[in-house]
Amino acid sequence: MEFIAFVIAIAIANQALRGYKLSKEKTLLYLNLSFVLIGAGLLVDGLSSLIVFLTGVRRGFLYPFAIGYTINFLAQVIAYGLLVYAYIHQARSVSESPTLALAAAVPFLFFERNAFTELILLFLLVYIATQTGINYSINKGTNSMLVFGAFLALAISHVFFLIFTVAPVFYPFAHIAQLCGFLLLLAMLLRVNRPT
Amino acid sequence: MMPGKQAEPRPTAKYRSQFRIYVDIMSVIQRESNEAKPTRILYGANLSHDRLVKYLDELKALGVIQETGTDDKIYSLTQKGIEFMNNFRRVESFAQAFGFKI
């Protein structure tokens, strides 16, 4: 699932980069950097999980999994922090993002999924989902609805990841919600690039 | 500031980038079935005459619009201009989907 999400994230990043090259609009550059980081985090997490799976889940082999998760977490915090910054930058209300400072304050290694890390990601995603929801309520476009749905699904996935820390049964639901989020983004990308 | 004069309030209109003005001009031409007179462009893109002439010259130099006619000038998009606008529409709808304006 992480590999599918990685490909979609890179496709979104590529579209944002093309937009930035054409318009030189900084928010598109932030969007590009954000999805590059999300993609990189997903790839590292997916590869580390694959290593753990291929080598067998034994205590000594859990280290790559922990490193993968930590990199994925940091990439996501910075990526979603950048998106939050892009929305704040667009609104031109403040010049600095508190979330980026939050990202810098995060300790380097977490070793495993825990409630604290998931709460940080959930907080960022709820903010982004709210912004995209407001955007959808204003322009009522299908693409806006897909993006809103995507970030809502990603926020829900982190709610499941949060519950997973106490109830492991929710782990597959979290991954399914995450995949749904990226598939919605793919649907938006395909709609945008339809031949005119 | 002149003595005795109060500071003028800053304009509330949003600053329009050169890129946005190019797009606005080309959108007007496209809207006019790809044949637009300068007056139409002037009103449609909300520009002064001097600035319109400047931007039309720049767009011609970029090869995205062409000028025809002698007395009554008509502007139309070139193939390069049409492709640019198609790409711009894609980027615009992509950015709008996220709630970003370009």
Reported ipTM: the value is 0.77
What local confidence, expressed as pLDDT, does residue B5 receive?
Answer: 45
- Among left, alpha and beta (phi > 0; psi -120 to 50; other), residue B6 is beta
Residues of B in contact with A26 (CB under 8 A): none
What local confidence, expressed as pLDDT, does residue A3 receive?
Answer: 85
- Angle B15-B18-B24 (CA atoms, 0-180°, nearest 5)? 90
Name which of B98, B100, B102 to mutate to probe chain A: the one with the most chain A Cβ atoms within 10 A of its Cβ: B98
Q: Which residue has the higher pLDDT, B76 or A55?
A: B76
CA dist B44 and A146 (Å) reads 32
Show the tokens assigned to A70. Answer: 């930590």
Delineate the domains of chain B, giving CATH numbers in brackets: 18-98 (1.10.10.10)
What local confidence, expressed as pLDDT, does residue A117 receive?
Answer: 75
What local confidence, expressed as pLDDT, does residue A58 receive?
Answer: 56
What are the pLDDT digits (tens) for A120-153? Answer: 888 888 989 998 999 899 888 899 999 999 999 9
What local confidence, expressed as pLDDT, does residue B25 receive?
Answer: 92
Contact flag B99-A90 (C-beta cutoff 8 Å): yes
Could you say which of B17, B94, B99 has the minimum Cβ distance to residue A19? B94
Percent of chain A past pLDDT 70, that is, above it, reads 82
Chain B's closest residue to A151, CA to CA, is B98
What confidence tier does A64 reach under pLDDT thresholds 50, 70, 90? low
What local confidence, expressed as pLDDT, does residue A95 receive?
Answer: 46
- Among left, alpha and beta (phi > 0; psi -120 to 50; other), residue B46 is left
Average pLDDT of the residues in A152-158 = 91
Q: Which residue has the higher pLDDT, A45 or A21?
A: A21
What local confidence, expressed as pLDDT, does residue A102 receive?
Answer: 52
Average pLDDT of the residues in A102-107 = 50
What confidence tier does A48 reach under pLDDT thresholds 50, 70, 90? confident
Contact flag B94-A135 (C-beta cutoff 8 Å): no
Residue A6 CA, chain-centre distance (Å), reads 10
B89 inside 8 A of chain A by CB:
yes
Contact flag B95-A18 (C-beta cutoff 8 Å): no
Task: Name the minimum distance, in Å, from the CA of A188 to any CA of chain B.
Answer: 8
Contact flag B95-A22 (C-beta cutoff 8 Å): no
Whether A111 shows a pLDDT value over 80: the answer reads no
Whether A171 shows a pLDDT value over 70: the answer reads yes
What local confidence, expressed as pLDDT, does residue A92 receive?
Answer: 60
Task: Name the minimum distance, in Å, from the CA of B66 to any CA of chain A.
Answer: 21
Residues of B in contact with A86 (CB under 8 A): 100
What confidence tier does A94 reach under pLDDT thresholds 50, 70, 90? very low
- Among left, alpha and beta (phi > 0; psi -120 to 50; other), residue A58 is beta
Listed residue (A141, A134, A131, A14) closest to B93, CA to CA? A141
What local confidence, expressed as pLDDT, does residue A193 receive?
Answer: 86
Q: Tell me the average confidence (pLDDT) per consecutive run of 10 residues in chain B, 102 residues long.
A: 45 67 91 88 88 90 87 88 90 88 80
Model-level pTM? Answer: 0.76
Cα atoms in the Cβ-side hemisphere of radius 13 Å centred on B5: 6
Neighbours of B16 (CB within 10 A): 13
